[in-house]
Structure 1
Amino acid sequence: MRSSVTRVRATRAGEVRVRRAVARDAKRLTRLVTSSRAYEGPYAPMVAGYRVGPDYIEAHAVHVAVDDERVLGFYALVLSPPELDLMFVADDAQGRGIGRLLIAHLRDEARRAGLAAVRVVAHPPAESFYLGVGAERTGTVHARPPAVMWDLPELHLTVGGAH
């Protein structure tokens, strides 16, 4: 699958672009996951000890949003069955359009792979973001203690149409 580079407006630090992740990004992606404020408090155990390894990056369509090589966010698309496995935006980069840029890129990549839609099982506080980018709620994935202690919203993100 040919990968694209997507650009968004320039910022004070430079232009934000999305590129395919490489093995050397693994530690930065892991740090982004484990330091996310969205996983503080009761959600902290879910990412405690979590690791995004070079093998994961190699096995999946992982893309990063970068600004002068600083990782601002990333997503991981599993092609079969089609699912958004991970998506994180750095705490200090939120509100800059990085999440929307990543979703637009994901849609382009999924379309190129021949997918019509992608399943999203969202972190509960992120559900409104996914609804805001056009995902539709399809159900609930029930808690699986001790790994996941809360129910998760399940959504369907169409990729074939306009966005």
Structure 2
Amino acid sequence: MLIRAAKRTEADSLSELALRSKAYWGYDEAFMAACRDELTVSASEIDSLRTAVAEHDGRILGFSTLEGSPPQGAMGMLFVEPASIGQGIGRRLFEHVIANARSIGFTRLTIDADPNAEPFYLAMGARRIGTTPSGSISGRTLPLLAVALTECTADDYDLPR
């Protein structure tokens, strides 16, 4: 498997992959329709979102984004093709984002996690620091997670001492 920078021409494919991946959790059609805008990656955003794809034999299996400016940013999206979930692709993409973030000077990333994906992020070393409003569903909150990219202290996670 290769992880590489996404191409602008892949924006539509990545957006559809994000929707398929989100639907994996059993959300209904109304919920998915409400999420469509938030899960859409435009060609003009590919570079600024530092979008990376995981591919094998020319087939995109997942993608991730690294958003913001150092020192603090966000792991904006991390989606894996449903048929490939559980094969380590999410882990490889997560590790890629972390390595890339460190190399360009980020010290902390936040993640607005789908509740179903929270266990994955916690297993990867993220910590829950609160909740955040959903960008798609009014009144819904999501787990807010953080990953410290330097030696960790309570301040890195905005936790009480």
TM-score by length of 1: 0.80
Unaligned runs of 5+ in 2: 152-161
Contact map agreement 2:49 2:67 (CA 8 A) in 1:
yes
Letter in 2 for 1:23: R
Unaligned runs of 5+ in 1: 1-15
Contact map agreement 1:122 1:152 (CA 8 A) in 2:
yes
> Of residues 36, 41, 61 in structure 2, which corresponds to 1:48?
36
**Residues 94-142 of structure 1, C-alpha deviations (whole Å, 9 max, x = no match):** 0100010001101110001111110111011110010010000000113
> Of residues 50, 56, 67 in structure 2, which corresponds to 1:67?
56
- Structure 2 Cα separation of the partners of residues 142 and 63 of structure 1: 26
| Correspondence 1:1-163 to 2 at 5 A | 16-36=1-21, 37-38=24-25, 40-41=27-28, 43-49=31-37, 50-80=39-69, 81-143=72-134, 147-160=137-150
Percent identity, please. 30
- Structure 2 Cα separation of the partners of residues 26 and 56 of structure 1: 9
How far residue 69 of structure 1 moved from its aligned partner, in angstroms, is 1.5
- Structure 2 Cα separation of the partners of residues 58 and 136 of structure 1: 28
Partner of 2:157: none
TM-score by length of 2: 0.81
- Structure 2 Cα separation of the partners of residues 154 and 99 of structure 1: 18
Instruction: Give the total of aligned pairs.
Output: 146
Q: SS of the residue aligned with 1:156?
A: strand
Contact map agreement 1:107 1:160 (CA 8 A) in 2:
no
Q: SS of the residue aligned with 1:85?
A: strand
Range that drifts further, 124-133 or 45-54: 45-54
Contact map agreement 2:12 2:41 (CA 8 A) in 1:
yes
How far residue 44 of structure 1 moved from its aligned partner, in angstroms, is 1.6
Q: Which runs of 4+ in 1 moved over 3 A?
A: 146-149
